[in-house]
Structure 1
Amino acid sequence: MATAKTVLITGCSTGSIGEALAKEFRNRGYHVIATARSLTRLSTLKPLGIQTEELDVTSQASIQSLRNKITKLDILINNAGGYHPGMISDLTEPQWQAVFAQNFFSVVNVTHAFLPLLLESRGTVVNHTSQNPYFAFPGCALYACSKAAVRQYTDNLRIEMHPFSVRVVELITGFVSSNIVTRQMPGRPGAVPESSIYFPIKDELKNAWAGGGLQGKATPPDEYAKKVVSDLIDPPGWFGPWIWRGWSATTSYWVWLLGCGWKGAWDPVWRMGALALLKGRLEKEKQV
């Protein structure tokens, strides 16, 4: 009897995309290793027969500790990360460093640690990015830049792994009703400090960063996970170098593709809303 393939997924806390992916891979007969910073965040998964492990993706010691426990791996899904809104003029260097540590260097370090096992199995690396790096959304520079770094890292890794038959995929996600939407997005009350030049439109920005009225349109995590896992493993077992899933992902792909002919072609769209409101207020102040 063939041994079940093994998938390691980071960032599987309750309500997350990682949790949904872990459940779906388990349903497909995979041996799943689900991780989070604390085992208490994985309480829904262990009863399902899923191996749960603590992993702080920003800690080399934590990564190495987990690596010492694992001897076989077929798929690595770098899913852990965080959403961090804020206008560029309000951001400090420590904030940039902290977010890149969480969203980018974690991917680099986890992949580096487990790559020998994936070379042995001729396995798959899946790096979770976002539709944000493909556009210039106001207040999303910190998150988008860290994910854009993952995007470019993934492209280079894909080329470099080709001779060794290791598949590398970028997973690009639109709106999914995960814990990022329900907890992280609304939970940034200090993202617009009183000293900010954008403070006059702080309420509009907070609403936009929290998803505005889009939460009801977001794809449920279990539905999203079924599609992504099918993209990865169902015959013919190849969906190309990237996967676009989640509400608005397909639209975002075509908007991005159509805008490739002229940089900034879609800027007028993103300038609407809160930024247009601020511009109007500033113009009125000049006339006074």
Structure 2
Amino acid sequence: MTRTVYLNGEYLPENEAKVSIFDRAFLMADGVYEVTSVLDGKLIDFDGHAVRLARSLNELDMKNPISKEDLLEVHRELVRRNNIEEGLVYLQITRGAPNDRDFVFPDPETTEPTIVLFTQNKPGLGNDPKAKQGLKVISIEDQRWGRRDIKTVQLLYPSLGKMMAKKAGADDAWMVQDGFVTEGTSNNAYFIKGNTIVTRALSNDILHGITRAAVLRFAEEAQMKVEERNFTIEEAQTGDEAFISSASAFVMPVIEIDGVQLGDGTPGARVARLREIYLEEMRKAAV
């Protein structure tokens, strides 16, 4: 069945949606994006994604072509038109398509941003079997640009990282800079020692995860201690449990880091409980 997508104010069949070859996302990776999960036909943590989108646009001095209220309506309409019960809504805003390629930003008065949204149907998203099996991760050098706090479409190195993990027989990779873990290829990274969750502090070095913020809040409410600081792969390998978080994976256990098994090699009780709490609370707050 052909999906309905949204492009610059219009709902279109996916095979009719066209973007200029001069669009700056295509030529310069000059764009930002967000991915919002859908559970039970409702949007998970939409407000958080909308706030981060506005921040990303502001950091790149890019015009926002749509209000938060209208953006919510577009999300809901796409979910309705595509009959999404469990899945994702992908949103991308670029600086637009001037008449030619140029490193200098186009005049915002003459070049409108490009806005695209589409859905991905993912039945079983909330009950991923990997949550019971756990993930294996490897470490790789972090070679991305310095502003990882802006959620841009510059995803080539994370894609290469996932391929490195696949070739190594693992599920994902954690990136390391100056000896310390930054984050996963498309997620935030954590380990648990005793009753303490350790994860890197917010800065330009990592994405300010919307799921991360919710998970840490729920963890503290569950009387777990949270330490936001630098940590090494070796330190994480000594943890009792580890996990990642993202808008599409929610909370996902990690059972092996660079070939070193954590605990008995199965997902631990604390991560399982965090995932349960997160899904319960987010379903209650979904819009």
TM-score (norm 2): 0.29
Identify, as 1 or 2, the structure richer in strand: 2
Q: Which is bigger in relative contact order (C-alpha 8 A, separation at least 6)?
A: 2
